[in-house]
Amino acid sequence: AKYVYDFTEGNKDLKDLLGGKGANLAEMTNLGLPVPPGFTITSAACRHYLAEGAPPDGLEREIGEHLSALEAAMGKRLGQADDPLLVSVRSGAKFSMPGMMETVLNIGLNDESVRGLAKQAGNERFAWDSYRRLIQMFGRTVQNIDGELFEHALDAIKGERQDTDLRADELQRLVETFKGIVREQTGSDFPADPREQMRLAITAVFDSWNAPRAVLYRRQERIPADLGTAVNICSMVFGNLGDDSGTGVAFTRDPGTGRQGVYGDYLQNAQGEDVVAGIRNTVPLQELEGIDKGSYDELLSIMETLENHYRDLCDIEFTIERGRLWMLQTRVGKRTAAAAFRIATQLVDQGLITLDEAVTRVSGDQLAQLMFPRFGKEGGRHRIAKGMNASPGAAVGKAVFTSERAVELAGQGEAVILVRRETNPDDLSGMIAAQGVLTSRGGKTSHAAVVARGMGKTCVCGAEELDVSISGRRFTAPGGIEVEEGEVISIDGSTGEVFLGEVPVVDSAVVEYFEGAEPDDELVRAVDRIMAHADAVRRLRVRANADNPEDAARARRFGAEGIGLCRTEHMFLGERRQLVEDLVLAASPQDRQAALDALEPLQRTDFIGIFRAMEGRPVTIRLIDPPLHEFLPDLVGLSVKAATGQATDKDRVLLAAVRRLHEQNPMLGLRGVRLGLVIPGLFAMQVRAIAEAAREVPGAQPEIMIPLVAAVQELEAVREEAARILAEVGVEALIGTMIETPRAALTAGQVAEAAQFFSFGTNDLTQMTWGFSRDDVEAAFFSRYLELGIFGVSPFETLDRDGVGRLLRLAAEEGRATRPGLKLGICGEHGGDPDSVHFCHDSGLDYVSCSPFRIPVARLEAGRAAL
């Protein structure tokens, strides 16, 4: 195997092997740009070293050969006493991990070559400054000596002066001090042999792949842990040779706004690490024009070359050595979400990329960021807790602890934040009334989280540091901070942070645009163009999860092409809950019929509203699927009443019924199709309401969906009756099923005999495949699981391709084997998750369905998946 590549041998597409830095140094070299000569040791060598504890055979020899070639080209040897070649040893992985791994500059200096360097440069001060930097960086990164020790020694000599004011003799003394520190801390002398310095530095860079901060960073950024890093050996150029030298960073465009121009910072008489360390104040890059016009002009022209070549925003590190410009690094630069959209369309207008490419240059996550109101950066913030970032956005309001109070205060025009230990369906009115929702328990698929995301409402859930007392109308935060009802708090649903007091909020123009406002600024016009193209290229349809006419109408404005999931149990919340309770607890067929008769017209009206809002597009209505406990009176409350002698006769009858129906595990209990089969007339009432509503609305396209099916027999039992009612009313509708139990997926070939469509309910399918309670586990232990790398992201957030995804594919395949052309969709929370949308595209689904606010994200990602 070849483990070492000269810069002239690589190119930008070899990032896997050469890392981002090495690949781009090679690319720039081959573009004829001024890159100091050097070579790259591959990440494969690093992987070998990390696995075996020793470098691969032959690596040492290859490095030696490349070093000799470099020495020949430069006309001097590494560390040569009278005229030393010096090199930098820099890490550089495939994905940029800023500052996470190690770099050592000025390798090759020792007590002799420092004098040679001084003579060659005609600059004593510079030579000793370079030497002290080597010992400092080498000591810290290779020998693991506490960096503070060097800093203190430097500060002691420097006093109030700048580092550039240190004289050569002072720096020489500092070198002696630094060598003393090394001796003291390691028990041996600073290694004087240049080859030895280089070898040790390379090993240290390899090792830094597994430094704790690098491990942590990779976990957060979801970078695979086994890639390893490449190592770049680059001949040194010096920015610290005097005022005609310096170092800087530059962007070809503003990474904050995307505007073209001159963006960057420059530091005279310095080496690269000084910029990062903030040792002296940099000047804006424009000022370089006055300092060194020749280098400035050359830099601008190189920036243009790079942009045209990479066809994207590039960031750059450069050094000027005595008026000569050198490129030390470039890469396609990170940018804000707003800049990403702007840059993509600007590049289209410049003729550098196509619209297809523009769509791939932005992401659904970036679009989502643009859709939520945000906290402005100004002003002090007093953070009091951090929970889970359940539904993004920024919300400010008075803390309230009950839904009634939320509704009451909101009715008076107050902004409120609903604070609960956890929410339940009864809190819906309060959640609607509130600006945001904060809970101290529950994960990202807890009730609060799912409902809030559906509403586009800011939510922080599972903030476990908070002790919420509903009865006391207050919560306590760490440090003894008490927040009473009516006190203002701010919650950031994008970060999970909770703040005391008001943090100022700014609105999203992008949402106003999706709501129908004219695209009247550059960002919104960019979003508009990219969305239009994504819509033109995508194959996947996008539907909405919506349960009422208002959500349906908003979903339409956001581009929904139908409703993929109308959860009918959500139509029974609020005051209608009583009607469902009456139904479930009905003691006689007459009581039951009375309860059904009361519900039917309400349902019919709801469906009419939804059909109208969707204007002839398909509407998938799921028959009722409530976990029973959500619709029964509270067992504990009734028991307490009975025990304390306060129960009425009616209470006692209720208590007996509730005891009878009480379930230890309601999510695995009497819900979905099971409920429909147990309570006669329930599903029939719903189907009739759907059919009659459809008859009222010309063009209505109802699809009836049966939940929680595990066996085709269940489906057959309800299907027949539904078909009969549809025929009676004279309305046509598809009858299909959710695939949300593993058994339904595994027997999809049979299930498809009785289903005209499948919709994957991946919330329950994930719950039942992993055996994770969707309401409990995220808060309980997911953070530990993420830490351990058992998964990189919650499977409730991004579809688990290997497990749940495998079931989905199997069901899709076997379902279509039975019934070619079987319509397939997904309606779990994953329908709005970018990675999951790509998986659904690849798996041949017909549509994804997600909450209204995720629809633009799903449209964009469906477009990207198709390209």
Point out which residues bind Mg ion (CB under 5 A).
740, 761, 764
**Contact status, residue 333 vs residue 307, Cβ threshold 8 Å:** no
Q: Which CB atom, from 269 or from 759, has the smaller least distance to Mg ion?
A: 759
Q: Which CB atom, from 254 or from 551, has the smaller least distance to ligand PEP?
A: 551
The CA–CA distances, whole Å, from 426 to 196, 447, 572, 636, 842 equal: 71, 11, 10, 16, 39
**Contact status, residue 333 vs residue 834, Cβ threshold 8 Å:** no
Q: Which CB atom, from 638 or from 811, has the smaller least distance to ligand PEP?
A: 811
Say how far apart CA 88 and CA 331 lie, in whole Å: 19
Q: Provide the β-strand partners of residue 251.
A: 263, 315
Q: Which CB atom, from 359 or from 845, has the smaller least distance to ligand PEP?
A: 845
Q: Which two tokens stand for residue 775?
A: 């309401």
Q: Which two tokens stand for residue 633?
A: 């009176």
636-661 b/e (C-beta count within 10 Å ≥ 16 → b): eebeebbeeeebeeebeebbebbeeb
The CA–CA distances, whole Å, from 621 to 563, 572, 612 equal: 8, 14, 14
Residues that bind ligand PEP (CB under 6 A): 565, 567, 625, 740, 761-764, 827-828
Q: Which CB atom, from 22 or from 761, has the smaller least distance to ligand PEP?
A: 761
Residue 627 C-beta: closest distance to ligand PEP, Å: 9
733: number of Cβ within 10 Å: 24
Residue 705 C-beta: closest distance to ligand PEP, Å: 10
Nearest Cα residue to 210 out of 195, 192, 226: 226
103, interface contact from ligand PEP, Mg ion, none, CB < 5-8 Å by kind:
none
Say how far apart CA 728 and CA 725 lie, in whole Å: 5
Say how far apart CA 754 and CA 711 lie, in whole Å: 10
Beta pairing, strands 394-400 & 388-391? unpaired
Q: Which two tokens stand for residue 141?
A: 């990164």
Find how far residue 214's CA is from the centre of its chain: 18
Q: Which two tokens stand for residue 698?
A: 């010309």
827, interface contact from Mg ion, ligand PEP, none, CB < 5-8 Å by kind:
ligand PEP
Question: Strand, coil or helix: what is 275?
Answer: helix
DSSP character string of 219-235 = HHHT--TT--EEEEEEE
Q: Which CB atom, from 130 or from 568, has the smaller least distance to Mg ion?
A: 568
Residue 542 C-beta: closest distance to ligand PEP, Å: 16
124, interface contact from ligand PEP, Mg ion, none, CB < 5-8 Å by kind:
none
Residue 551 C-beta: closest distance to Mg ion, Å: 18
Residue 671 C-beta: closest distance to ligand PEP, Å: 9
Q: What is the DSSP letter of 138?
A: I
Residues 48, 234, 314, 447: which is the catalytic one?
447
Say how far apart CA 419 and CA 473 lie, in whole Å: 9
Residue 630 C-beta: closest distance to ligand PEP, Å: 11
Q: Which CB atom, from 363 or from 763, has the smaller least distance to ligand PEP?
A: 763
444, interface contact from Mg ion, ligand PEP, none, CB < 5-8 Å by kind:
none
Say how far apart CA 2 and CA 521 lie, in whole Å: 52
Find how far residue 529's CA is from the centre of its chain: 24
Q: Provide the β-strand partners of residue 823.
A: 757
- What phi and psi, each to the nearest 5 degrees, are found at residue 5? -120, 130
Mark whether 48 is an active-site residue. Answer: no
Find how far residue 700's CA is from the centre of its chain: 38
Q: Which CB atom, from 292 or from 764, has the smaller least distance to ligand PEP?
A: 764
778, interface contact from ligand PEP, Mg ion, none, CB < 5-8 Å by kind:
none
Residue 758, H or E segment: strand 757-760
Q: What is the DSSP letter of 794?
A: -
Strand order in the sheet with 458-461: 382-386, 497-500, 488-492, 394-400, 416-420, 436-439, 458-461, 388-391
Q: Which CB atom, from 163 or from 740, has the smaller least distance to ligand PEP?
A: 740
Mark whether 533 is an active-site residue. Answer: no
How many residues in the chain? Answer: 867
Q: Provide the β-strand partners of residue 416.
A: 398
Q: Alpha-carbon torsion 612, 617, 623, 628, what sign?
A: negative
Residue 708 C-beta: closest distance to Mg ion, Å: 6
Q: Which CB atom, from 369 or from 568, has the smaller least distance to ligand PEP?
A: 568
Question: Strand, coil or helix: what is 189?
Answer: coil
Residue 218 C-beta: closest distance to ligand PEP, Å: 31
DSSP character string of 450-507 = HHHHHHT-EEEE--TT-EEETTTTEEEETTTEEEETT-EEEEETTTTEEEESPPPEE-
Say how far apart CA 613 and CA 634 lie, in whole Å: 36
**Contact status, residue 857 vs residue 368, Cβ threshold 8 Å:** yes
Q: Which CB atom, from 240 or from 766, has the smaller least distance to Mg ion?
A: 766
Say how far apart CA 580 and CA 632 lie, in whole Å: 9
Q: Which CB atom, from 282 or from 843, has the smaller least distance to ligand PEP?
A: 843
Residue 763 C-beta: closest distance to Mg ion, Å: 5
Place of tokens 């058992």: 790
Say how far apart CA 157 and CA 42 lie, in whole Å: 41
Q: Which CB atom, from 170 or from 630, has the smaller least distance to ligand PEP?
A: 630
Residue 343 C-beta: closest distance to ligand PEP, Å: 36
Residue 740 C-beta: closest distance to Mg ion, Å: 5
Residue 567 C-beta: closest distance to ligand PEP, Å: 5
Residue 619 C-beta: closest distance to ligand PEP, Å: 15
416, interface contact from ligand PEP, Mg ion, none, CB < 5-8 Å by kind:
none
CA angle (114, 120, 125) in 5-degree steps = 55
Residues 459, 827, 840, 850: which is the catalytic one?
827
Catalytic amino acids?
447, 827
